[in-house]
Amino acid sequence: MRGAERLEVQLDGMSIPISIEDLANWSIAKGNYESELASWIELMDAQSRSGLLKLLNAPLLKDRSMARQLLRSWVGRELLDELSDLIRLDEDRSGKKVFSTFEFLLDSQPEVTTLDLLQSLPAESIYLDLDSLLRLAKRWRNELVKQQELLASFGSIDLNKKDLAKEIEFQPSLKQNRNRNRNRNRNRSFYKIKTLEVSHRIDPLKLEIWIPNENDLKRLSWIVFMPGLGGSQDHFRWLARRLSANGWSVVLLEHPGSDSKAVEGLLKGMHPAPGAEVLPGRLSDLNQVLLAKEQGVLEVQGEKLVLMGHSLGALTSLLASGIELEEGLVERCKNALDDLSLTNLSQFLQCQLVDVQLNKVQKISDLGAIVAINSFGSLLWPRSTNAAISVPVLFAGGSLDLITPPLTEQLGLLKSLSLHPSSRALLIEGASHFSPIRVEGQINNAKGDDLFKLGEALVGVQPLTVQKLLGSQIIEFLEGYETGKELDSLVQKDYGEVKMHMLDRISIERLLGSQY
């Protein structure tokens, strides 16, 4: 395979030619190489030169089987298509040559570095549009500034105004702790495993049914919880345990094909990465659980249903409410993905729904509330949408979420989807998209064997504190919904590095004004 000879870098309206051979020799010699290119590189500071060396020699994807499956997935193809606007081979903007070259290299070597790819791409010249990359970087900075301004606006609220906010203590009193411990010992919750045969799956669904034990509280509702893409029951057992200890029956679902086993299959190169195409199957899973409850096959207490989920599980909950996608998704996706919009990674999944046939969902007559954790759907239901959910919805998110940013997603969804006066948006400072996920070893800071090897860079700060606070707010929201208690329009809690803000629709409009 004949590789490219030069890299043409477009910067500030100028085209700067770079010999790929010189770049390779400089890299192989670890910077000790004399050439015109090396002279230019020497003008960079030491840290930048070191970063360039790492970039050129770092494997783009370490596992060939996983890489192949990832590139063949819908998201992988979309990424290549968007990247082709920034990296062009001669006059080819399709991205197909990049994909085929990647596959060729993966067949002949265990891993592929940036330099390997540059040296092998079949073209005379590779054009890199740094001007576009700089514009994209500016957009990312602007998004971060908006996020910071949002948090700053929370900090400026006058908490003495009773109609706007109420400050409450996070730590319970000693008396509350004693009562809580007595209740915990008396009303320990437990779960049992149940398999459910369904016509749309080869294997039966495995359900965890969490049952309150001799609890004096007779809750009005029962809960179905759905993990996100690649999530498992293990990740949210902490929440099911806490909810059942407070009187709610919880059915914890696991969706074959988009659970942790599916992620493991991707890592082993067995099949492509799952995406939005799994939603019809997930909705069918939920329908079968509801049917089993209706027919008495699934025995759980509670009359009203609370749908609860994380990420893709949250989207499943919203879709299951019966709301339809707003017309014009194709055009909205074209605009959103036109400039490699990676500041909101959930947009890739949302736009995949253009090619996914969603069956019409039957309205759930006994639906009482929805809890959508790290939810998304800003392209599916834009701010001008006519869709509406008639029951209370709690949209929860974190300030460090780079996958479903709260300013675009949770706060936006509250405005576009729910007019119910008890609906709320919960924003936790310091929490990320993965903070609600409890992985093995997290409690005692040990290293577990969970597929989700999540460090602080991904999981945010103090994940256990975030989970504790999230659980408390979900319980308070559900109790308010069941008892008809009027919730405060804005509540704030401060617990060290972790702060939370619970807002209603009117508070969001007051805080963000014309910027939103």
Cα separation, 349 vs 58, in Å, equals 28
Residue 221: inside a domain = yes
Judge if 82 and 230 occupy the same domain: no
Judge if 93 and 235 occupy the same domain: no
pLDDT, residue 171, reads 39
CB 85 within 8 A of CB 132: yes
**Rg from Cα positions in the chain:** 25
DSSP symbols for 486-512: PPPSEEEEEETTEEEEEE-HHHHHHHH
Judge if 262 and 168 occupy the same domain: yes
Token pair listed for 343: 């500041």
Token pair listed for 489: 């329009």
Judge if 200 and 127 occupy the same domain: no
Judge if 229 and 310 occupy the same domain: yes
Confidence tier at 309 by pLDDT (50, 70, 90):
very high
Residue from 460, 424, 486, 502 nearest 154 by CA: 502
Cα separation, 353 vs 35, in Å, equals 51
Does residue 306 sit in helix, strand or coil?
Answer: strand
Does residue 462 sit in helix, strand or coil?
Answer: coil
CB 372 within 8 A of CB 436: no
Confidence tier at 370 by pLDDT (50, 70, 90):
very high
How many other C-beta atoms are found inside a 10 Å radius of the C-beta of residue 248?
29
pLDDT (tens digit per residue) in 87-126: 778 777 666 777 778 778 877 887 788 788 888 888 878 8
Residue 170 pLDDT > 60: no
Cα separation, 105 vs 118, in Å, equals 11
Residue from 421, 507, 486 nearest 156 by CA: 507
Range name among 106-120, 192-206, 435-449 with the lowest pLDDT average: 435-449
Residue 3 pLDDT > 60: yes
Judge if 21 and 89 occupy the same domain: yes
Range of the domain at 91: 6-133
Residue 139: inside a domain = no
pLDDT, residue 9, reads 72
Q: Which amino acid is at 471?
A: G
pLDDT, residue 265, reads 53
CB 282 within 8 A of CB 316: yes
Residue 152: inside a domain = no
Domain stops at, among 77, 99, 133? 133
- Written in H, E and C, the secondary structure of 112-145 is EEHHHHHHHCCCCEEEEEHHHHHHHHHHHHHHHH
Does residue 444 sit in helix, strand or coil?
Answer: coil
Count of all residues that appear for the chain in the document: 516
Report the pLDDT averaged over residues 433-457. Answer: 60
Judge if 170 and 271 occupy the same domain: yes
Residue 85: inside a domain = yes
**φ, ψ (nearest 5 deg) of residue 370:** -135, 135
Residue 69 pLDDT > 60: no
What's the Cα-to-Cα distance from 401 to each of 14, 226, 375, 493, rounded to whole Å? 36, 19, 11, 19
pLDDT, residue 283, reads 95
pLDDT (tens digit per residue) in 344-363: 778 888 999 999 998 877 78
- Structural domains counted in the chain: 2
The number of angstroms, rounded, from the C-alpha of 489 to the middle of its chain's C-alpha atoms is 27
What CATH number does residue 424 fall under? 3.40.50.1820
Domain stops at, among 133, 166, 186? 133
Report the pLDDT averaged over residues 489-497. Answer: 80
Token pair listed for 90: 């001669």
Cα separation, 513 vs 516, in Å, equals 6
DSSP symbols for 39-83: HHHTTS-HHHHHHHHHHHHSEEES-HHHHHHHHHSHHHHHHHHHH
Judge if 366 and 511 occupy the same domain: yes
Q: Which of 268-277, 317-326, 445-454 has the highest mean pLDDT?
A: 317-326
Q: Which amino acid is at 235?
A: H
CB 445 within 8 A of CB 432: no
Residue 294: inside a domain = yes
pLDDT, residue 241, reads 95
> Which residues are registered as beta bridge partners of 320?
none
pLDDT, residue 359, reads 80
Judge if 506 and 461 occupy the same domain: yes
Domain stops at, among 133, 149, 167? 133
Residue 145: inside a domain = no
Residue 148: inside a domain = no
Judge if 162 and 80 occupy the same domain: no
Judge if 182 and 112 occupy the same domain: no
Cα separation, 308 vs 331, in Å, equals 30
Judge if 353 and 450 occupy the same domain: yes
pLDDT, residue 307, reads 98
- pTM of the prediction? 0.74
Q: Which residues contact 320 (CB under 8 A, 6 or more apart)?
A: 283, 286, 307, 361, 364
Residue 141: inside a domain = no
Residue from 75, 98, 73, 74 nearest 85 by CA: 98
